[in-house]
Structure formats: C-alpha cells, structure tokens
Amino acid sequence: MARPLGEDGGMHLIVTCAVGLEDLLRGDLQQAGARAVVSGEGELTVTVDEIDVVRSNPMVDRVAMSWSPGVPLEDAEKLCRAAGFDGDVAFRVHEKDSSVRDGIVRAVGHQTGWRNEPGDWQVNLVPGTNRAEIGPLAWAARFGAMERLPATTPPSVAAGVLRLAKLQPGMALLDPCGGVGTIPIVDAIGRDGRGLIVDLSPESIALARNNIRTFGLKDRVFAEEGDATYLDLADASVDRVVSDVPFGKRIGSNQENDTLYPGLVRELGRVLTQDGRAVVITDDKRRFADVVARDRSLKVVKETALRYNGVTPTAFSLTRVRARGR
C-alpha cells in the first residue's frame, strides 16, 4: 500500500491523547514497533512502518501530520487511503481570518483537486499549529461513533483508564456510574470478557443499550438502571471496576457526593473479588481520598492526574486492604 515516506522510510505522525496518558501510550506504541517521543502535553510524535500500530490503539484520540501552507499534501491523502477511506478527499481550513482562509482554500483546491467541505472533511488543515489532521484516523472513524451526553467520558480517556485496571481476558468489569456505557464498551472492543453498566438515569441506560447494539456487543455487555450505592450484585462477584463518577460540578453536587462517595466505596469493597481492583475518575479528589481512607476496606495504590476537555480529574487505582496476618 502506498504510504507517506520519511527519509527513514517511516510514516511521521503527530498523535494526541489525554494529558496524563502520554507515557502509557508511548510504551504501547514502542512495544508495537513504533518510534514514539512525547512532544508535548497530550501529544506524541510517532514514526511507524505500519499505520495499524496507531490505528488499533484506542488511547489515540486524533492523528495529524506536519503541514504548512505551500507544503504538498500527497502524504495526507495517502494516510486517508491507508486508514481505509476510498472516496474523494474533502478538506477544511481551520483559520479565523477569512482572507487567509480563502487564500489557502484556493491554493489547496488548485494543488490537490480536493473539495472544500467544512462540515464533512477528511483533512483538516490548521495553519495556526502547522498540522493537517487526518479525519479517517480519529477515534470515532477508527472504532465507531457512540451516542453521547455532555458528561460522557471521551473513549480515548476510557481506554487509558482501563489500562490502569489491569484487566485480563475473561474478567468481569463493572461501571456503577456507567452513563452511556463508554468504559465497558471500549473495554469490550479490545478484550474478551463481560461488562456491566449501571446508572441511575433511564436516559443514559437507553443510550448505553443503543451503543451496545451499535458495537455488536449485546452478548457480552449489559446495561441496567441501578444505584451505585446499593448494587444488585453478590459479594465478591466483580473482578474489576472502572468508573468516571460525578465530580459534583456538571453532574451532581459536592453535597450529593457526601452521600454518593461513601455508599459507592462501601459497595466497591463488598462486590470486588479478593484480588479485585477499581479505578475511579473524579475531580472531587480530596473528598474521594478522605472517603476511601475512612472506609478502610480499600486503599489507593496509584493516582494518575489527567486533563481533557477542560477538566482535570485524577484516576484513583484502588485495591483491597488485606487483613494483617493472613
């Protein structure tokens, strides 16, 4: 397959992920044979011989290549083809100044023969950052689009946080504040195992069921209305919990978290297996850490600071506190 060639024969890409996940993503890409360097917050420069190394990694949010006005765009088209797009390429120019934008639109149209289609593009040219963003390599184009709500966890963030949970094939995963189901669905795309989404909101559960159907996961991922503080699950029945819980800002309130967090942590201590592990994302960090310390059934073993979409939560990794002498 034709592919963009650097002097070293590889494809040079700029890959974005949530801030805080760069090292995890770099490790994954290097293990898969790429050369990857963290080049900024939430950004890696990556050289790969095969696009699938990047395409198959769910922590990768968006993919771009270096570009500035006047630079040829054959490589951008080759990347669209390598990503499986076989139609006529359309582009947009992300530039506020309309005279600059119109000049670039004319020049690129002339140079490439591409259509300028600001609402439905494969290549997004961003002169301000010297990038050409490749639409067919964005997360939703690679894995599928989910129905979302305002507090939906970005799927690329879900993928990173799932990595912290150390899930193995066959394990059962629970998200007790699961919303539209992003976390168990992203997990089930890449792992053989069951997932359960619980949420108080009937609207979220209806969307989660649509998403499960869209991704063809109805034999392995289930969604049920329920309360995270009173789970309808047996003791020690869940291997892993991964959840993006209400921060008390956009969803719920700090006051509600005073009830939600102790009930949630108590239930995690009850339903997790002896070797269970939970990863909980929250921006109400002090409150959550205090609740875990007071509950004493679980302990925080790792804190991963994240930043995406204007929020700065921490992913708390939790395991059981083992009784002394056992």
Ligand X SMILES: C[S@@+](CC[C@H](N)C(=O)[O-])C[C@H]1O[C@@H](n2cnc3c(N)ncnc32)[C@H](O)[C@@H]1O
Q: Footprint of ligand X on this chain (CB under 6 A)?
A: 149, 151-153, 176-180, 182-183, 198-201, 204, 227-229, 244-246, 251-252, 260
Least gap, CB of 135 to ligand X (angstroms):
22
Least gap, CB of 92 to ligand X (angstroms):
28
Residues whose CB falls within 8 Å of the CB of residue 195, separated by 6 or more in sequence, listed in order: 172, 173, 174, 175, 183, 184, 185, 187, 188, 217, 220, 221, 222
> By C-beta, is 116 or 201 nearer to ligand X?
201
Instruction: Find where tokens 């500035």 sit.
Output: 68
Least gap, CB of 115 to ligand X (angstroms):
34
Report whether 278 contacts 241 (CB < 8 A).
yes
CA distances from 213 to 35, 199, 206, 219, 316 (A): 36, 18, 11, 10, 30
> By C-beta, is 201 or 273 nearer to ligand X?
201
Least gap, CB of 231 to ligand X (angstroms):
9
Distance CA 40, CA 16 (A): 9
> By C-beta, is 57 or 204 nearer to ligand X?
204
> By C-beta, is 152 or 304 nearer to ligand X?
152
CB-based closest residue to ligand X: 179
> By C-beta, is 79 or 242 nearer to ligand X?
242
Of 279, 276, 275, 285, nearest in space to 311 by CA? 285
Least gap, CB of 266 to ligand X (angstroms):
12
CA distances from 55 to 14, 50, 110 (A): 13, 9, 30
Least gap, CB of 226 to ligand X (angstroms):
6
CB half-sphere exposure, 100, CA atoms < 13 A: 12
> By C-beta, is 252 or 262 nearer to ligand X?
252
